[in-house]
Amino acid sequence: MADSAAQQIERREEYLDVLTKSGQKKGISKPRGDVHRDGDYHRAVHVWIFAESTQELLLQRRADCKDSWPGLWDISSAGHITAGDSSLISARRELEEELGLTLPRDAFELLFVFLQECVINDGKYINNEFNDVYLVTTLDPIPLEAFTLQESEVSAVKYISYEEYKELLAKEDSDYVPYDVHGQYGQLFDIINMRYKENTVSRSLSLQEQLRRYAPNILSAELTGLSESGKEALVYLIKAAAVMDELFYLQAWYSNPVLRDWLKKHADRSELDKLKWSYYQINKTPWSTIDADQAFLTTADSALRLLPNATKPVKGWKGLEYRAAFPVQKPPGANFYPPDMDTREFELWKDSLGKDQQTEATGFFSVIKRHSEFLLDSNTTENKAGSAHDLYIVPYSQEYKSLLAKAAELLHKAGNITDSPSLKRLLHSKADAFLSNDYYDSDIAWIDLDSKLDVTIGPYETYEDKLFGYKATFEAYIGVRDDQATAQLKLFGDNLQVLEQNLPMDSVYKSEDVNAAPIRVIQLIYNAGDVKGPQTVAFNLPNDERIVNDRGTSMVMLKNVSEAKFEHILLPIAEGCVAKEQQELVDFDSFFTHTICHECCHGIGPHTIILPNGQKSTVRLELQEFHSALEEAKADIVGLWALRFLIHKGLLSRGLLKSMYVSFLAGCFRSVRFGLEEAHGKGQALQFNWLYEKEAFIFHDDDRFSVDFSKIEGAVESLSREILTIQAKGDKEAAGLLLKKYGALTEPLKVALKKLELVQVPVDITPSFPIAEKILGS
């Protein structure tokens, strides 16, 4: 059927963004016909609908009036991405327009991007097209009578076995639009085949191996030092902390909460399902933290969701059941940004905003969304006049309103009960912050906390935002303060200004006003939220540069976590990788003392900086995605420098001088095993490779390592100077080059990691919390 006059006009006026050959926008758009006439690169979407129960793909027959491949069987749904539109929105719209199928965003799984370059119609139609290929997985085939076909685009639909369809394409059957199944597009069939013909025994064994890398450990604490009111408040605090879990699941990916619930519900169905749930509980997402975020689950493992009204009604059919999808590649922007937003789109939008809105867009406590998605989900046609961009800001207090209200209520209850004035102030101010989105006062109250019951709760770390490092995830740590150990550590906080003035960098970059960092040592009772994968042994907060400048930071050391890691991981690593004559130098005091100094050194060095053009900025904003890894490397290596400085000043025992370097060497292998996608792992690789290049670390013929004490001090100081200077200048290019060169898995590291894998040294611990489990189970 030919297009109507109105449809022809609309098609002629459809504009497409023109891309470079590498897929980047040129900043211009052209009419669709001109794009195909001139062979311009552009973008489109392919959406495949796959029925699990029958292992079939849905195909559509292209309308006879189409200007490309008329009358041939093709993808379930496809279409160009109109200039200014986004990929996922276009995929959803095409499916609705062509087939009358209305699906939410969690039904769409981005599989890969396919570049199609071909010429048809006697050279009149040049197709240089980047295609975002999506898969929608349904439980059963959708009844054909449920579809509403767009006559100008689709003349018929049918289901076909994916294996039969692949064979037809391989034979270049003339009834089907051609795709090279032996080339890039073969990924579609490989992915389906791998998911549904996988050997469950081998998959179970693989998950068992992944679980074996974590040593189970029971973490508890003595509560006898708490007052009765403290014990009562603890109940509410544990419950508030559990809400941070709910928040983090949602922040990690939008279909993550339903995936979690599905895996938990079906964990007893088989041994494989039990293993899936066990490993998911460690990672809190379908991506394995210590395997460079490789997926250990697929959408085929995910939750089934029922949509009764996704199509027109069919008698006797309850509706469409689909799998809540997630991509194999972990989205770098997590659930903070639209999944199809790239950095260029964000920067163009950000630059169009006023100064205050720019601060909010790049701030810790907001998510970025699309107007077009809101309109599509709400089924409205609200006028977007006056807005040249599709993105907008939503503060956490609005985005997570119901969960934050629940957490705030629990914190207020705990604050009303506690007899500690500083804890009371913290809990009430944090509860208020959850609802106002202003965390300044509550973070000051956290720095000033002086209570036997120690509480850290809220949005803090930005590791999950791998696009920019802007957005903070929710977390919680509840513990009992170890008063004796805390008193012993006052030395470090008192000497921060002295350390700042003696840092190995140009004096022009040094701060004259570094605040002493209070240090609290606790025995951890419970943690929640963004505590996936490897467990932290300490943290230095807050990360808000305003507070760092006004009041400095405070640090919390988790002593029982450190003890567990040293016993289960660091000692076995030393036995396997450190030269025998230096193994006795690996001790807990050195390990724990360097951990303390690491956290202290987050509080010194550049934070707020002046750029060459005179503009005031921060290291975090300038280094963006490189900030987290470089900051962790700085705290580590400057921590070593600071320990040597304090030893030479007579403030620490000279007995640490050798043991701290050898303990650090063993710790390098521990942290690199977290994976180079993780900030600590990448930062540790940078340090190891630098020190190895400077011959401060020696690799012996027996595949063991030792420290050259005559070279280690100079190597530590040179790397400290390099990182501090990059941060002080806000030099993103230099940061990227440094991490690219040194933040890699080099041959010596590979040898060490392989040895540790062979002897099955755990990568980390997986804690259980009996006190919290009793409270949450009640």
- pLDDT tens readout for residues 222-272: 998 899 999 999 999 999 999 999 999 999 999 999 999 999 999 999 999
pLDDT, residue 2, reads 37
Q: By the 8 A CB rule, do 346 and 129 touch?
A: no
Rounded distance, CA 50 to CA 111, Å? 13
DSSP 569: I
Q: What is the pLDDT of residues 575-601, one digit of tens each?
A: 999 999 999 999 999 999 999 899 889
Q: By the 8 A CB rule, do 679 and 640 touch?
A: no
**Measuring CA to CA, which residue among 266, 264, 257 is closest to residue 326?**
257
Calculate what percentage of the chain has a pLDDT beyond 90.
82
pLDDT, residue 563, reads 94
CA distances from 580 to 322, 583, 712, 747 (A): 57, 5, 19, 21
3 state DSSP class of 135: strand
pLDDT, residue 11, reads 47
Q: What is the pLDDT of residues 324-360, one digit of tens each?
A: 999 999 999 999 999 999 898 999 999 999 999 999 9
pLDDT, residue 233, reads 98
pLDDT, residue 379, reads 74
Q: What is the pLDDT of residues 608-639, one digit of tens each?
A: 899 988 899 999 999 999 999 999 999 999 99
Residue with more model confidence, 540 or 173: 173
Determine whether 16 is exposed, middle or buried from the number of CB atoms within 10 Å of its CB (0-12, 13-18, 19+): buried
pLDDT band at residue 121 using 50, 70 and 90 as cut-offs:
confident
Residue that is written with structure tokens 């440094």 in the block = 738
Q: By the 8 A CB rule, do 504 and 720 touch?
A: yes
> Boundaries of CATH 3.90.79.10 in the chain?
5-196
CA distances from 716 to 508, 636, 664 (A): 21, 10, 12
Report CA torsion sign: 273, 275, 278, 280: negative
pLDDT, residue 4, reads 41
3 state DSSP class of 208: helix
CATH topology of domain 5-196: Nucleoside Triphosphate Pyrophosphohydrolase (3.90.79)
pLDDT, residue 7, reads 43
Residue 456 is inside which H or E element, if any?
strand 453-459
Alpha-carbon dihedral 156, 162, 165, 166, rounded to 10 degrees:
150
pLDDT, residue 487, reads 83
- Which residues lie across from 133 on neighbouring strands? 46, 112
pLDDT, residue 494, reads 84
B/e letters for 669-707, b = 16+ CB within 10 Å, e = fewer, are bbbbbbbbbbbbbbbbbbbbbbbbebebbebeeeebbbb
pLDDT, residue 5, reads 40
Rounded distance, CA 681 to CA 683, Å? 5
Rounded distance, CA 472 to CA 476, Å? 13
On average, the pLDDT of the chain sits at: 93
Q: What is the pLDDT of residues 713-737, one digit of tens each?
A: 999 999 999 999 999 999 999 999 9
pLDDT, residue 386, reads 44
pLDDT, residue 12, reads 52
Question: How many contiguous H segments (helices) and E segments (strands) does the chain have?
Answer: 31, 26
> Rounded to a whole number, what is the distance in angstroms from the first to the last CA of the chain?
66
3 state DSSP class of 7: helix
Helix axes 256-265, 271-283, angle to 10 degrees: 140
pLDDT band at residue 6 using 50, 70 and 90 as cut-offs:
very low
The set of residues, in sequence order, having a beta carbon less than 8 Å from that of 127 and lying 6+ positions away, is 36, 68, 116, 117, 118, 119, 120
